[in-house]
Chains A and B, each alone.
Chain A
Amino acid sequence: MIRSRLFNTQHYLLLATLLLAAATTSLFAEDSIPLPEIVVLNPVQNLYTEVLFDHEMHQDGYECSLCHHLSEQQDLDSATNCELCHNRDTKNPILVSTPRSCGECHHKDNTSYNDQGKKDRLPKTLWRFHLDTPSLRAAYHLQCLDCHRQDGGPVGCTECHSLSQKGRQLFYVKD
């Protein structure tokens, strides 16, 4: 008797959860968010010009989480170890923080001397986990190039961005 009632309660709970999930999904469904066609990527504009990233073309064939591996809308990409702590597990509220923009985790400079500052700001336990985060520029180049190499995308430096005047000078490229 008691068992069956319990079962019923569970049933209701499950139904409620599913409804809630469905509501949330529809609220944040892909259609409701205006997705950009072209994204200008300019983490560091020094030797090369900015990249005009064709978001529309890439979103067709690939999972969003492949690049946006920690964004709120997407399932977490298990390729990084970030999701071990940065998940949406509400049981553990300390670890809920979910960064949205790439630059929140991947900093613009890869200068370790400045990382020393970051090291001072963070508690030692946290610093241990954030020891090896790629810089923003490296995050783009690692993500893009690895995928391009695998799937036959452009891999030459000047196929995605062209050399700036400073870059031409540094690489001794004649006009």
Chain B
Amino acid sequence: VSPEEPPIIVERWTPTSVNATIVAAVVYLLLFFGPAVFSANLTDQLTTLFIYVILAVMWNALAGYAGLISIGQQAFFGLGAYLAVRLSEWGVSVYPALVLAAIGVGLVSLPMSVFVLRLRAGEFAIGMWVIAELLRLLVNLDTLIQGDTGRSLIALSAYDASVRRAMTYWLALGSMIVLLGAVFLLLRSRTGSSIQAIRDNEQAAESVGVKVLAAKRVIFVLAAFGCGMAGTLWLATSTTFQPRSFFSIQWTAYMLFMVLVGGIGRFEGPILGAIIFFALEAWFGGAGVWYLVVLGMVALLFSLFLPRGIWGWLDDRHALHLLPVGYRLTGITSLDGRRPERIKHPKE
């Protein structure tokens, strides 16, 4: 290596990512005034969008970073809602109950992780589904739920409709920001470097001493907590807990759609995917079954022809990183002395 070569620079913040982070922070801040400004309908819609973002970001953390494809995340979604009903019935004040229920889901997922994370890829995917089915059946045994009839979160009716709407909105917005922040900080931490290394090549990561299982466990529990939170929030918007709809595999189908379309393994991808999914649902949701056919078809086509989603596609062309979750190296010279145009993603 000749001495006059420029040094390698390790960058975390770029001008783009500084601007994007500031914009994101301002948008979040403005969103907090939502209920005061927006119409009731818009407030409800945004609450739904926040829940979708949570679900997408959580599934992306699992599948995109930890390489864990779960088709049973509805287990945590349903369990969160069930625990919220249970806690409320035991006399816990309703809004704290929603958060406590999600924490409860996180606690349940911890011992579960010891077993399921040892499973091989395909077994994990369907094993989680069986766990979701089992939880649905067990919840059905609780006489409080009255089988498929379900149970309302009665304590919510103590609040005026407009207060309830605003409270749920803030709780959803707050949860979304906290969970996005958690994933953001996690990815920037030492564990995050491990996780991104696992994403790129699990065997290689393990061979250089990354504690693969520990990193996966952090993500698994976080994703369980997040999906549990989404479940309790969904309960707060729909008020009635019905095991069949809350433990439905459609939730995982939605998560998969949002992540595949938005861009798997990218921080920004699932957020984009959630917005696209939300818009599609608003426009075509009324089309019923055909809408679901199209969703399935789009997910199928993306998995075949654009497996890294829209964000991955943009990233390939423009090296777009709005949020600084990784490091980027500039000034690299390859061994033969040429400067590469950009660093290729290992999966390409």
Say whether A associates with B. Answer: no
- On A, residues with C-beta under 8 Å from B are none
- On B, residues with C-beta under 8 Å from A are none
